[in-house]
Structures are given as C-alpha cells and as structure tokens.
Amino acid sequence: MRSTDSQPLSARPEVTARITAQTGLDEEKLTELVHRFYGKVRADPLLGPIFAARISDWSPHLERMVAFWSSVALMTGRYHGAPVPAHAGLPVEWRHFEHWLILFRETATEICTPEGAAHVIARAERIARSLHIAVEDAQPRTVPSLL
Ligand code: HEM
C-alpha cells in the first residue's frame, strides 16, 4: 500500500490500532526490536558469519525487516518480499533456528511489554518452523534411487 501524509501507514488502520492498544507495539518499538536483535545476530558466533556472507549493506536489510515485522505483528501489509527463497539455500539446521529464537525472545523481552513480547515471539516461532521446513525441502535428497 502506498503511504502518504494523509494516509495512515496501515492496510487496516483499526486492526493495527487495536493491536497497538493491546500490546504496546508500534512502528517505533518494532524498529528498536529489529535493530537491537540484528545487532546481537551480527555479533553472534553461530549466526553472525551466515549473515555476513550474504549481507554487506545492512541498511536495506534492516528496513526490509522492520517492514516485515510491521506486516506480521501490526497487520499493516508493508512487506512485499519472499522469505522462503531467501532461506532455502542457507547452510542452516534446526539448531540455527533455535538459536535465532533464543536471541529473538531475549530481545523482545528486553524491549517490549509482556503482551508485546508474547505477540512477536509466538509469530517468530511459527515462522521459524515454516522456514525450517522450507530449508529442509530444498536440501538434495539422500534417499537412494530405486532405478
Ligand atoms: C537460522 C536462522 C536464520 C538465518 C541464518 C537467516 C538468514 C537470513 C539471511 C542471510 C537473509 C538475507 C537473504 C538475502 O538477502 O540474500 C534473510 C532474510 C530474511 N529473513 Fe532470515 N534467517 C533466519 C531466520 C529467520 C526467521 C525465523 C525469520 C522470521 C521470523 C526470518 C525472516 C527473514 C526475512 C523476512 C528476510 C527478508 C527476505 C526478503 O524479502 O528478501 N529469518 N535471513
């Protein structure tokens, strides 16, 4: 959706306003969450090198991730990307996703209200499981051919 000064930054403004009232989450909070979380990811010995191998300019990635979380958590429809192909070729197993979730839960708990943290953590856990399945499906099959 195009956003102008006269238009709210949401596809469904009343839904977004209700979520903000219930959770304390808004664009500013999500921006803080994304920036602090990826600060930890970049410094992390397990995940940092995987990101460093693919992302040289962090500004557009962080902007994209704020738009993603705005769509996921506030239902604004701001994100128009494709997360599955972005992860399909990554050298990751479930332990990487688990570690990603540990850092995400920690950051959400530091920054958000308890309701806000629960809201984003539930969604992150769900999406991590789907991305893990997508990564597994993209791996070459090890089942021997019968032919
Ligand atoms: C093992 C854990 C993870 C790793 C190592 C990882 C790594 C990456 C990398 C390297 C990119 C950039 C891809 C590129 O631009 O070439 C990316 C993009 C992205 N990641 Fe992850 N990720 C992980 C988990 C997650 C989870 C759990 C979520 C969501 C809750 C997520 C959401 C996204 C999104 C939305 C993008 C942007 C995709 C696009 O529109 O291009 N990632 N990730």
12 lines ligand 1 (CB under 6 A): no
Atom number in ligand 1 closest to CA 83: 38
68 lines ligand 1 (CB under 6 A): yes
38 lines ligand 1 (CB under 6 A): no
Residue 87 Cα to ligand 1 middle (Å): 6
Number of domains in the chain: 1
pLDDT digits (tens, 9 = 90+) for 51-81: 999 999 999 999 999 999 999 999 999 999 9
Whether 35 maps to a domain, the answer reads yes
Whether 3 maps to a domain, the answer reads no
Whether 15 maps to a domain, the answer reads no
pLDDT digits (tens, 9 = 90+) for 3-15: 444 555 677 899 9
Whether 10 maps to a domain, the answer reads no
Whether 1 maps to a domain, the answer reads no
**Alpha helix (H) residue ranges in the chain:** 13-23, 27-43, 48-52, 58-74, 83-88, 94-111, 114-138
pLDDT digits (tens, 9 = 90+) for 19-55: 999 999 999 999 999 999 999 999 999 999 999 999 9
Whether 147 maps to a domain, the answer reads no
* Whether 16 contacts 119, CB under 8 Å: no
Whether 101 maps to a domain, the answer reads yes
Q: Say if residue 132 carries a ligand binding annotation.
A: no
**Structural domain boundaries enclosing 41:** 24-138
Tell me the CATH number at 124: 1.10.490.10
